[in-house]
Every structure is written in structure tokens, then in C-alpha cells.
Amino acid sequence: MGTSLGKDFDTFLDTKVRHITKVSTHQQLYRMLELGRIDFTPDGLYPGLLTIKKFGFEGDIIPLETPINKEYLYAPISKKSRYIKYLPQYEAGLKKFRADGTINRLVDKYMKSYVTASANREAEDL
């Protein structure tokens, strides 16, 4: 879909992969993968899992156990922000939520919610 997954992986694709197929939707991409028309598709873990669940590819398509790269999300805050004084508490809270499993539980909860809401929207469109 024309997305970069980091310089190292982009270099791998440019130098080691003979043919790259680009499509306009995740559904097309995963359908091609399911049908064996392509060998793999690089994607983010959670967007990939959502696509697999949403379009019913569970059992046919699985993510690699080892990620091809690991990117992090950052929450930038201005040094001029009146909330900068709360940065240590914010960081401590994130560490706590990661350690006690809160982040994983929320990811699972909202992934399920997204898939359900998406299915309901599609049913309404019929």
C-alpha cells in the first residue's frame, strides 16, 4: 500500500524482493495473501490483526512471531506547556499500566469493539 516500515526493511525490499504488488485496500492485500497470490505482506501488528478479524481470515493468515521491526509511539509535549510538570507522573503511569497488563487489556478490548462496530456498520449498509 506504499507504506514504509523503516529504512532497513525498505532496503531489504528494494534489494531482495523481485516483485512488489501494491493495492489500495488492506482487504485486497490480505485476500491476495490468503489465495497465495503473494507470499507475505508487511503490516503493523494491530492493523494486521484487525484486518484478519474483520474480514474473517483467522486461521488462514497469521503474524510472524518475530517482528520485522519495532517502532515506538511517542507523545511529544512542548517545554512551554503548562502540563510539563506532570511528565514524570505521566511516564510512571505508562510504565505501571504496561507492567500490570492494563495496556494489553485495553488493546484487546478496543480491537474487539472495533471489529464489532465495523461489522454492525456493514450490516446496516446492506
Confidence of residue 32 (pLDDT cuts 50, 70, 90): very high
Integer Cα distance of 53 and 116 in angstroms: 10
- Considering the domain architecture, whether residues 64 and 94 belong to the same structural domain is answered as no
Number of domains in the chain: 2
Query: Residue 96: is its pLDDT beyond 80?
Result: yes
pTM of the model: 0.66
Query: What residues make up the domain containing 64?
Result: 1-71
- Considering the domain architecture, whether residues 67 and 82 belong to the same structural domain is answered as no
Helix and strand element counts for the chain (H, E): 5, 0
pLDDT of residue 101: 96
Residue 42 CB coordination number (10 Å): 19
- Considering the domain architecture, whether residues 32 and 93 belong to the same structural domain is answered as no
Confidence of residue 25 (pLDDT cuts 50, 70, 90): confident
- Considering the domain architecture, whether residues 56 and 83 belong to the same structural domain is answered as no
- Considering the domain architecture, whether residues 4 and 39 belong to the same structural domain is answered as yes
Mean pLDDT of 50-57: 88
Residue 51 CB coordination number (10 Å): 21
- Considering the domain architecture, whether residues 80 and 62 belong to the same structural domain is answered as no
- Considering the domain architecture, whether residues 43 and 78 belong to the same structural domain is answered as no
Lowest mean pLDDT among 30-44, 61-75, 110-124: 110-124
**C-alpha dihedral (62, 29, 115, 47), degrees to nearest 10:** 70
Integer Cα distance of 122 and 126 in angstroms: 7
pLDDT of residue 125: 60
